[in-house]
Structure 1
Amino acid sequence: MKKLVLPLLYVIVISCNPNYGQLSLVTRLPKELKENSGIAITAQDSTLWLINDSGNKDHIYRAGFDGKMLEDIKVKHAKNVDWEELTKDDDNNLYIGDFGNNKNKRDDLTIYRIANPETAKDEEIEAEKITFYYPEQKDFPPKKKHKYYDAEAFFYLDGYFYLFTKNHSRPFDGISFLYKIPAEKGHHKARRIGEYTFCTDKDQCKVTAAAISPDKKTVALLGHDRIWLFSAFENDNFFEASVQETIALHHASQKEGLCFLDNNTLLISDEGKGSSGRNLYKLELGKVKN
């Protein structure tokens, strides 16, 4: 029996002292956000907006940095087929990316625009629908080696959406395509303007969220255990940026939420799994170690 005591105590200590690597824990998110898939900030008031992905309600949520649920708003005229990302424009209108497409079968890719939810007067808010398609995709689904048409990452910039695809190719080749879509009502052809090969590890090299800094000088992309930064770009093909950096987080989980708190600080969220995850983290870019 004595041989079993130390390992058991060791397990208890480890579980009570989780290691978040380079991340700092801000809070555990409310239980309603177990499958959170996108985050955005519209005010510097220690709160943020969140969405859940497929199989959940057509709602947006506001939670505090203290982990408390503050608002639960139904999005009218919208359906959560697979909500995967949340971003905002300069007027704090929110955009929900309903373009999750793991099997590459969808022909109803949608972005929902809702007015700044801080102005909502009740527990419902109207959505305006924007749709788009990838002109390169001819088959639904395409062959396994061409499964490039899923996405979980986009942001708004100067009247356009910039969308980064999530690769499901087999064999996995690590490519993410960058598409540009007008941020206006209508049915749009997404224009491919760049591509980047991250690496060929299918567990580590898929893009799950995107954000651009408030000063519009840095683009951040999220993976389950790392962040990719692109800066000093001269045009909107951010993959051609002259400064590129990969930050190992030393913490792996199903991270899908990403936004900038300020020009030097990222907020990151992950989905819950058992007793772990469903957390909001902070990453201070000036303090990271590679």
Structure 2
Amino acid sequence: MKNSSFMAGAGKALAMSLLLLPAACSSTDSGNDSGIEVLEDIVLDEQLVETSGLYCDANHIYTINDSGNSPDLFTLDTSGTIVKSEKLPRKNTDWESVTADSEFFYIGDFGNNAGKRSDLAVLKVSRADTGDITPLPVNYENYDIAKNEYYAHDYDAEAMVSRGDQLVLFSKSWLTRVVKVYLLDKGQVTPLLSPVAELSGIPGVVTGADFDAQNNRYVIVGYTSNALGMFKPFIATLSAEFDLISTYKLDGYGQVEGLCVRENNTIWLTQESSPLSVAKLIKVKLPE
């Protein structure tokens, strides 16, 4: 989510922030005592000031910028240096997430702050030929453009995970604060998406996610925010069945957007630039 868009909706965002901020002090498990260890804190290149999604494989880290930016897929090394940039032949309407399997990248062009988009999709990009792209439409059940209001609906998304033959989408539920989980078929057009799980107790909106196969759990990241551009990020873990396990504050950071899991309880995060912070790649270790 671009911070300038956030400020443009300051009136309604402030109303939402008053609803969201109390949740920042709640905790399901150890959220009041972080226990998170920051291992690396790297300032990113100015080309990545609006870094949004994040995906890691054994050797590289991949990221994208969000709405209004060039449709580039960036490859980074573990020092945060850009080693490759590929411009894809698709418009970046509002790219918010990237994940992958052995054959394809999946880019979530489903950012939808205003709730008015009719072209939400995941771009299925061949890893062998990034010019070969197939859109997978994202059509939510009960989605009504006429009723949706800016920052006051549940049909926005910024977090997506590849698991087997499906993509797992987590909603950015501005209105209800109940995170909805959707499954999208990788191989064919999925009809209307209805939630397979609904999560209460998440201390803010979800902006990034990955599956931690070593611990058989999902790890998600997000934040609470206010109209002044101040962010209170968190990390949470979920069971493979989407039950909330634990939440942790991520003190000292801001608009955290992407997340990918590495080995031994370590994860990489990206932070988008804002008036109060710079774009960063952050490596942290969760409590054992």
**Does the pair score TM above 0.5?**
yes
Alignment pair present for 1:28 and 2:43:
yes
Partner of 2:100: 88
Aligned residue identity for 2:38:
L
Partner of 1:40: 55
Deviation at 1:164, TM superposition (A): 0.8
Partner of 1:64: 77
CA distance in 2, matches of 1:168, 1:153: 14
Residues 59, 177 of structure 1: alpha-carbon distance in 2 compared, 3 angstrom cutoff? same
CA distance in 1, matches of 2:83, 2:214: 28
8 Å CA contact retained: 1:29, 1:63: no
Partner of 1:229: 237
Please point out which of 172, 178, 181 is paired with 1:178: 181
Please point out which of 134, 139, 147 is paired with 1:133: 139
Residues 274, 48 of structure 1: alpha-carbon distance in 2 compared, 3 angstrom cutoff? same
8 Å CA contact retained: 1:147, 1:168: yes
Aligned residue identity for 1:265:
T
CA distance in 2, matches of 1:250, 1:145: 25
8 Å CA contact retained: 2:113, 2:151: no
Aligned residue identity for 1:27:
I
* Post-superposition CA distance 1:73-101 (Å, at most 9, x none): 0112x221100001112x15210000000
CA distance in 1, matches of 2:192, 2:283: 36
Deviation at 1:160, TM superposition (A): 0.9
8 Å CA contact retained: 1:37, 1:52: yes
SS of alignment partner, residue 23 of structure 1? strand
Deviation at 1:189, TM superposition (A): 2.0
Partner of 2:279: 278
SS of alignment partner, residue 254 of structure 2? coil
- Aligned residue pairs: how many? 244
Partner of 2:228: none
Aligned residue identity for 1:40:
Y
Deviation at 1:276, TM superposition (A): 3.0
Partner of 1:164: 170
* Post-superposition CA distance 1:100-125 (Å, at most 9, x none): 00011112111011122xx45xxx63
SS of alignment partner, residue 186 of structure 1? coil
Deviation at 1:50, TM superposition (A): 0.7
Deviation at 1:181, TM superposition (A): 1.3
Please point out which of 182, 191, 195 is paired with 2:194: 191
SS of alignment partner, residue 111 of structure 2? coil
The percent of aligned pairs where both chains have the same amino acid is 27
Partner of 1:112: 123
CA distance in 1, matches of 2:275, 2:157: 26
Deviation at 1:229, TM superposition (A): 0.2
* Aligned-pair Cα RMSD in Å: 2.3
Partner of 1:3: none
Alignment pair present for 1:238 and 2:238:
no
Deviation at 1:41, TM superposition (A): 1.4
CA distance in 2, matches of 1:195, 1:64: 36
The runs of 5 or more residues in structure 2 that have no matched partner are 1-35, 224-232
Partner of 1:254: 255
CA distance in 2, matches of 1:107, 1:27: 37
Aligned residue identity for 1:226:
F
Alignment pair present for 1:99 and 2:99:
no
Partner of 2:155: 149
8 Å CA contact retained: 1:63, 1:69: yes
The runs of 5 or more residues in structure 1 that have no matched partner are 1-20
CA distance in 1, matches of 2:111, 2:165: 22
Q: Which structure has the greater CA radius of gyration? A: 1
Deviation at 1:254, TM superposition (A): 0.4
Partner of 1:53: 66
CA distance in 2, matches of 1:216, 1:192: 24
TM-score, normalised on structure 1?
0.77
CA distance in 2, matches of 1:181, 1:67: 31
* Post-superposition CA distance 1:139-173 (Å, at most 9, x none): 4442679611000011111211111110222xxx4
Partner of 1:12: none
Residues 128, 80 of structure 1: alpha-carbon distance in 2 compared, 3 angstrom cutoff? same
